[in-house]
Chains A and B, each alone.
Chain A
Amino acid sequence: MSILFVLIPILGALAILLGSKAKTTALIASGLNLFLGLGSLFCWQAKIWSMSPEILSKPSIHLAFGFYDGMSVIMMILSVLVLFAATMSGKCPEGREKLWYSSLLLIGGGALGAFLSTDLFFFYAFHELALIPTFLMIGILGSGERKEAAWKITIYLALGSIILLAGLIWLVSASGSETWLFSELLKSKIDPSAQTGIAALLIVGFGILISLFPFHSWAAPAYASAPAPVAMLHAGVLKKFGLYGLIRLYPMVSEGMQHWLGALIVLLLGNILWVGFVTINQKRLDTMLGNSSVMHMGYIFLAFAALVQAGSVEANPLAIPAAVVLMFAHGVSIALLFMLTDTIRRKTGTVELAELGGLAKAAPRLAFLFGLAGMASIGLPGLANFSGEVLVFLSGFEGYDGGKLGCVQVATILALWGVVISAVYMLRAFRQTFQGPAVPATSSKNVTDFGPFCQIPAALLALALLVVGLYPNSLLNLLKDPAPVAPTEQAAE
């Protein structure tokens, strides 16, 4: 049944290509998905959601979908929320509705397929569904240096994907598992000497897809040039695919990952500090947000590093919930920020910080929501990102007995500076854009507050931030619940 989440957007995209009204079809498809997603929150453990027909016998690959555990549910909610917001708020250029809406649906369908797949092969394959639509959207309908950005993201992600594929193939063959299903794979043990190589390939492969330092140079230009809905989907949802994969496959390569812990910590600090300082240096809202999204990946990696150091999920029970909550929170907040930045660009014609000012006078609601999203991104308590970040920092010190500081603890202390860094650039951007005297760009008659097509998705995303911020157990409870019955056992019944 969970294949519906994937089929609805894909069929919607096909319908649009065959000639149905683009915006309506897209809204119906993403709206349906949103309702289905929110509804499934109450019954996700029911068996009806899983399926796994075998499509290939040698090697044994299944077209398997289902909620493998609470993490899949949370990522699914993130995807349907952001897809709906992106579809509703995007302002499509004249005459390009077909390309615009079908691409958004395909990208969203690919993300949902990846998160809901319980077979490693299709988990990998669905992520790539987004590749061609992203290439076309950034290249044709993007702004600024769109052509270079489109080539860079496509080739870089292709390289990352093929390296990842090698790692996954090696993983499956070393595990001795008969199938590519998660449930089979996660039961098997891999020889520790092979784990080191596999872990390296997974870190590099997933790392490129997550924009881990130093494989991050594709991200900021791509998000800055992409049309806003594509940036929302990519930075908010698709990037989390890599982290989801790492967390999901971690039990199979736990010893191998420990070998690379030092390198991982240096790289994630590179994300937080190096890219953080690069973000402070940005003079445009869109590049600032692009770099900021790269920077925040460092926190989630910190939770992962804490997990790696502890050696097992039982030894550090905070790490995975921290990562998942922060993935959700970051996804929603960055999507909201990209949406609002696009509104600013449309209303005032610019996103250069130097040319903006005093926008709050003309667009108070926009200012409020941007402030909310910005505060969330900094990590203000009461909003979702704080719940995630505080859990990350706590997980960094989990199991610390008061003696010598380990490398993860040192990294956590250094990562705390990231909060200050993000406060610097976000508050400065807010002040420069919204406060102070009005400037010509922001005081012309065109500048009105944003309309309902933007207000509804923005309110939805802001609501998600508030709910998870004030009541983190809404997500954490999902992670505590036991996973539903594995599909292969179901098939035997």
Chain B
Amino acid sequence: MHVYWLEIIVLLGGLVLLMVEAFVAPKRKAIIAYSAIFPLVLALVCLFFPLNYSLDGNDELSRFYAVDSQAKFFKGFTLLAGILTLLLAIDFRKTLSKFTANPHSEDGTGEYYCLILFACAGMMWMASAKDLVSLFVSLELTTITSYILVGYMRRNVGSLEAGVKFLILGALSTGFLVYGISWIYGATGSTDLTVISARISESNPTYLLFGLSLILISLAFKIGAVPMHLWIPDVYQGAPTPTTAFLSVASKAAGFAVALRVLEPFLNSPLADKVIFILAVLAGATILLGNLAAIPQKNFKRLLGYSSIANAGFILMAVAAWNPWSDSELSSKQVVMFYLAIYLIMTFAAFFILAVVSRNTGSDDIAAFEGLGTRHPLLAFMTTIVIGALAGVPLTAGFLGKFFAFQAAINAGLWVPVSLGFVGVAAGFYYYFQIVRAMYWRSSLEESPMTVPPTSLYVIGVLSALLIVLAFTPQPILWLIGN
């Protein structure tokens, strides 16, 4: 089986389920959700089997479609993120149906699960895109699907507002992307990234840098870096929680996958110094703003939005510390992939916890966590582990991610972003520990125990256990990265 069948499996699954959805009874739309997991699991399993990775004889496809360890990692990443999002959506479907066309049945919720499949397919193509055009097309598939996913709860004003904001800013960033691509094409004569990297040294640097800056603006929108971060808190807060989780993890990772592919020719060329300078400035500003703006937040969902901005800043710092390959340390790409792998685990755990608490208390605020220490000690303990990982407390896997990012930056001599990183980490301890404080220092008026759906409990348990285990044996992740 050729590797490009993976996306086709997911896509076909989505299309078939979309057809099936029209015929499923309104009360039983959850079947679509459970079935949607199958194509993703199938693709994930196939990824581990020796597929036919060569594209011999298929010159046209190999022009557009890369098959390397980075592509494999991001495909697997997207599939796992998709599976977790569907699991979260299954437990979330009551809220979802409350805000769609017919609140008393699950009538309008079936398409949600299919859309997630389409978005996954788009991201998998993005992971393999080695031509600016295929990159753009797959990016559009994902983004447009995300617009719908964000505004899906159409009887909820917050969701609609988030959807509109996302749509307008997303369309703007798409405009920047296309304009940037056209400048690069004009400067180098091709949209194929391998050809571009061969022709960079002889092309006009001004045109190249201008085109790259425009593309960077669009990528900054995707990964949520300053100054294109303004959409994140509002969109994350308004969107349905599974969408937020999906955007926060998969969309961001896809953005980084694209960024790594697009930046690589430039960072290996004589223009590297200027590009690194731009990236370092972006990274420093993102770390500073993401962490400081999170301090006054009282809503956990919004806080997770700022936390994702802060994490994007740290990953960007690792990209700025560009290190193509080294004997004794991880290369920049590997650091980014490692950080994203840990980020997936931490963030999905946080969103599952948020969904559980929100279902029980009806609110996404940090105050909803009050008294969790007595209401559900196990959940509180697992939340403490997840919060510790997000903050970067050592002996959790979250610390390892930050450790590698800092190591890369210090070895590259990027002391300004590193110093801003100090402020960021210290600030992080404050705003993340707000949740720990709420759980244990405060008590809630409700003394009743929390109801936690079994799927969510198992997922949170597995994810938080992974966060501790991987802190002591991170080698499996390195294997997945392709070491």
The answer to whether A57 and B410 touch across the interface, beta carbons within 8 angstroms, is no
Q: Considering only CB atoms, which chain B residue lies closest to A179 in the complex?
A: B328
Q: Give A438 Cβ to nearest chain B Cβ, in Å.
A: 38
User: Given the complex of chains A and B, what is the CA–CA distance between A127 and B394 in angstroms?
Assistant: 8
The answer to whether A124 and B441 touch across the interface, beta carbons within 8 angstroms, is no
Neighbour of A132 across the interface among B328, B384, B426, B483, CB < 8 A: B384
Digit string of A105-136 for contact with B (CB within 8 Å is 1, else 0)?
00000000000000001001111110110011
Q: Considering only CB atoms, which chain A residue lies closest to B378 in the complex?
A: A17
The answer to whether B395 and A128 touch across the interface, beta carbons within 8 angstroms, is yes
Q: Considering only CB atoms, which chain B residue lies closest to A201 in the complex?
A: B410
Q: Which residues of chain B have C-beta atoms less than 8 A from A139's C-beta?
A: 437, 440-441
Q: Give B471 Cβ to nearest chain A Cβ, in Å.
A: 8
Q: Which residues of chain B have C-beta atoms less than 8 A from A135's C-beta?
A: 433, 436
Interface of B is mostly: helix
Q: Is B478 an interface residue (CB 8 A)?
A: yes
Q: Give B151 Cβ to nearest chain A Cβ, in Å.
A: 39
User: Given the complex of chains A and B, what is the CA–CA distance between A22 and B145 in angstroms?
Assistant: 52
The answer to whether B410 and A56 touch across the interface, beta carbons within 8 angstroms, is no
Q: Give B280 Cβ to nearest chain A Cβ, in Å.
A: 16
Neighbour of B429 across the interface among A55, A129, A154, CB < 8 A: A154
User: Given the complex of chains A and B, what is the CA–CA distance between A147 and B431 in angstroms?
Assistant: 15
The answer to whether B422 and A155 touch across the interface, beta carbons within 8 angstroms, is no
User: Given the complex of chains A and B, what is the CA–CA distance between A159 and B433 in angstroms?
Assistant: 14
Q: Is B473 an interface residue (CB 8 A)?
A: yes
The answer to whether B425 and A60 touch across the interface, beta carbons within 8 angstroms, is no
Digit string of A144-170 for contact with B (CB within 8 Å is 1, else 0)?
000100010011001101110110011
Contacts A57-B475, A57-B483, A58-B328; A163 near B422 (Cβ below 8 A): yes
Q: Give A376 Cβ to nearest chain B Cβ, in Å.
A: 34
Q: Is A178 an interface residue (CB 8 A)?
A: yes
User: Given the complex of chains A and B, what is the CA–CA distance between A147 and B425 in angstroms?
Assistant: 20
Digit string of B423-462 for contact with A (CB within 8 Å is 1, else 0)?
0011001100100110011000000000000000000000
The answer to whether B411 and A173 touch across the interface, beta carbons within 8 angstroms, is yes
User: Given the complex of chains A and B, what is the CA–CA distance between A136 and B472 in angstroms?
Assistant: 24
Neighbour of B426 across the interface among A99, A128, A155, A178, CB < 8 A: A155
Q: Is B403 an interface residue (CB 8 A)?
A: yes
352-384 of chain B: CB within 8 A of chain A:
381, 384
Neighbour of A125 across the interface among B395, B437, B483, CB < 8 A: B395
Q: Is A380 an interface residue (CB 8 A)?
A: no
Neighbour of A178 across the interface among B328, B388, B411, B430, CB < 8 A: B328
Q: Give A51 Cβ to nearest chain B Cβ, in Å.
A: 13
Contacts A128-B393, A165-B406, A166-B422; A55 near B475 (Cβ below 8 A): yes
Neighbour of B422 across the interface among A17, A99, A124, A159, CB < 8 A: A159
Q: Which residues of chain B have C-beta atoms less than 8 A from A56's C-beta?
A: 474-475, 478
Q: Is A39 an interface residue (CB 8 A)?
A: no
User: Given the complex of chains A and B, what is the CA–CA distance between A140 and B406 in angstroms?
Assistant: 33
Q: Is A59 an interface residue (CB 8 A)?
A: yes
Q: Is A38 an interface residue (CB 8 A)?
A: no
User: Given the complex of chains A and B, what is the CA–CA distance between A124 and B392 in angstroms?
Assistant: 13
1-59 of chain A: CB within 8 A of chain B:
17, 55-59
Q: Is B76 an interface residue (CB 8 A)?
A: no
The answer to whether A154 and B433 touch across the interface, beta carbons within 8 angstroms, is yes
User: Given the complex of chains A and B, what is the CA–CA distance between A58 and B394 in angstroms?
Assistant: 18
Contacts A59-B329, A162-B422; A129 near B395 (Cβ below 8 A): yes
Q: Is B421 an interface residue (CB 8 A)?
A: yes
User: Given the complex of chains A and B, what is the CA–CA distance between A59 and B475 in angstroms?
Assistant: 11
User: Given the complex of chains A and B, what is the CA–CA distance between A173 and B471 in angstroms?
Assistant: 21
The answer to whether A58 and B478 touch across the interface, beta carbons within 8 angstroms, is yes
Q: Is B156 an interface residue (CB 8 A)?
A: no
User: Given the complex of chains A and B, what is the CA–CA distance between A60 and B436 in angstroms?
Assistant: 33
Neighbour of A155 across the interface among B403, B407, B429, CB < 8 A: B429
User: Given the complex of chains A and B, what is the CA–CA distance between A178 and B326 in angstroms?
Assistant: 12
Q: Which residues of chain A have C-beta atoms less than 8 A from B418's C-beta?
A: 166
387-408 of chain B: CB within 8 A of chain A:
388, 391, 393-395, 399, 403, 406-407
Q: Which residues of chain B have C-beta atoms less than 8 A from A470's C-beta?
A: none
Q: Which residues of chain A have C-beta atoms less than 8 A from B478's C-beta?
A: 56-58
The answer to whether B407 and A173 touch across the interface, beta carbons within 8 angstroms, is yes
Digit string of A58-96 for contact with B (CB within 8 Å is 1, else 0)?
111001000000000000000000000000000000000
Q: Which residues of chain A have C-beta atoms less than 8 A from B410's C-beta?
A: 166, 169-170, 173
The answer to whether A140 and B440 touch across the interface, beta carbons within 8 angstroms, is yes
Q: Which residues of chain B have C-beta atoms less than 8 A from A126's C-beta?
A: 394-395
Q: Which residues of chain B have C-beta atoms less than 8 A from A129's C-beta?
A: 394-395
Q: Which residues of chain A have C-beta atoms less than 8 A from B407's C-beta?
A: 59, 169, 173
User: Given the complex of chains A and B, what is the CA–CA distance between A155 and B391 in angstroms?
Assistant: 11
Q: Which residues of chain A have C-beta atoms less than 8 A from B36's C-beta?
A: none
Q: Is B115 an interface residue (CB 8 A)?
A: no
Q: Which residues of chain A have C-beta atoms less than 8 A from B421's C-beta?
A: 162
Contacts A56-B475, A166-B410, A169-B407; A147 near B328 (Cβ below 8 A): no
Q: Which residues of chain A have C-beta atoms less than 8 A from B472's C-beta?
A: 55, 63
The answer to whether A131 and B426 touch across the interface, beta carbons within 8 angstroms, is no
User: Given the complex of chains A and B, what is the CA–CA distance between A482 and B437 in angstroms?
Assistant: 47
Q: Give B188 Cβ to nearest chain A Cβ, in Å.
A: 34
Q: Considering only CB atoms, which chain B residue lies closest to A167 in the complex?
A: B410
The answer to whether B483 and A58 touch across the interface, beta carbons within 8 angstroms, is yes
User: Given the complex of chains A and B, what is the CA–CA distance between A154 and B432 in angstroms?
Assistant: 12
User: Given the complex of chains A and B, what is the CA–CA distance between A173 and B407 in angstroms?
Assistant: 9
Q: Considering only CB atoms, which chain B residue lies closest to A197 in the complex?
A: B415
Q: Is B330 an interface residue (CB 8 A)?
A: yes
The answer to whether A136 and B406 touch across the interface, beta carbons within 8 angstroms, is no
Q: Which residues of chain B have C-beta atoms less than 8 A from A131's C-beta?
A: 393
Contacts A125-B394, A155-B426; A132 near B388 (Cβ below 8 A): yes
Q: Which residues of chain B have C-beta atoms less than 8 A from A63's C-beta?
A: 472
73-123 of chain B: CB within 8 A of chain A:
none
Q: Which residues of chain B have C-beta atoms less than 8 A from A163's C-beta?
A: 422
Q: Which residues of chain A have C-beta atoms less than 8 A from B483's C-beta?
A: 57-58
Q: Give A155 Cβ to nearest chain B Cβ, in Å.
A: 5
Q: Which residues of chain B have C-beta atoms less than 8 A from A55's C-beta?
A: 472-475
The answer to whether A124 and B394 touch across the interface, beta carbons within 8 angstroms, is yes
Q: Which residues of chain A have C-beta atoms less than 8 A from B474's C-beta?
A: 55-56
Q: Considering only CB atoms, which chain B residue lies closest to A55 in the complex?
A: B473
Q: Give A430 Cβ to nearest chain B Cβ, in Å.
A: 36
User: Given the complex of chains A and B, what is the CA–CA distance between A151 and B394 in angstroms?
Assistant: 18
User: Given the complex of chains A and B, what is the CA–CA distance between A132 and B386 in angstroms?
Assistant: 12
187-235 of chain B: CB within 8 A of chain A:
none
Q: Which residues of chain A have C-beta atoms less than 8 A from B329's C-beta?
A: 58-59
Q: Give A233 Cβ to nearest chain B Cβ, in Å.
A: 17
User: Given the complex of chains A and B, what is the CA–CA distance between A151 and B403 in angstroms?
Assistant: 23
Q: Give B321 Cβ to nearest chain A Cβ, in Å.
A: 12
Q: Which residues of chain B have C-beta atoms less than 8 A from A155's C-beta?
A: 426, 429-430
Q: Considering only CB atoms, which chain B residue lies closest to A163 in the complex?
A: B422
Q: Give A218 Cβ to nearest chain B Cβ, in Å.
A: 12
User: Given the complex of chains A and B, what is the CA–CA distance between A140 and B474 in angstroms?
Assistant: 34
The answer to whether A169 and B406 touch across the interface, beta carbons within 8 angstroms, is yes
Q: Give B383 Cβ to nearest chain A Cβ, in Å.
A: 12
Q: Considering only CB atoms, which chain A residue lies closest to B425 in the complex?
A: A162
The answer to whether A17 and B429 touch across the interface, beta carbons within 8 angstroms, is no
The answer to whether B399 and A125 touch across the interface, beta carbons within 8 angstroms, is yes
User: Given the complex of chains A and B, what is the CA–CA distance between A155 and B428 in angstroms?
Assistant: 9
Q: Considering only CB atoms, which chain A residue lies closest to B413 in the complex?
A: A170
User: Given the complex of chains A and B, what is the CA–CA distance between A69 and B399 in angstroms?
Assistant: 29
Q: Considering only CB atoms, which chain B residue lies closest to A205 in the complex?
A: B422
Q: 24 A-B pairs, CB-CB below 8 angstroms?
A: A55-B474, A56-B475, A56-B478, A57-B483, A58-B329, A59-B330, A59-B407, A99-B440, A125-B394, A126-B394, A128-B395, A128-B399, A132-B436, A136-B436, A140-B440, A154-B429, A154-B433, A155-B429, A158-B429, A159-B422, A165-B403, A166-B418, A166-B422, A173-B411
Known interface pairs A121-B403, A166-B418; 9 further A-B residue pairs with C-beta atoms within 8 A, sorted by A's residue number: A55-B475, A56-B475, A57-B478, A58-B483, A59-B407, A125-B394, A127-B394, A129-B395, A159-B422
Q: Lowest 8 CB-CB distances: which A-B pairs, in order?
A: A125-B394, A128-B394, A158-B429, A159-B426, A162-B425, A169-B410, A169-B407, A173-B411
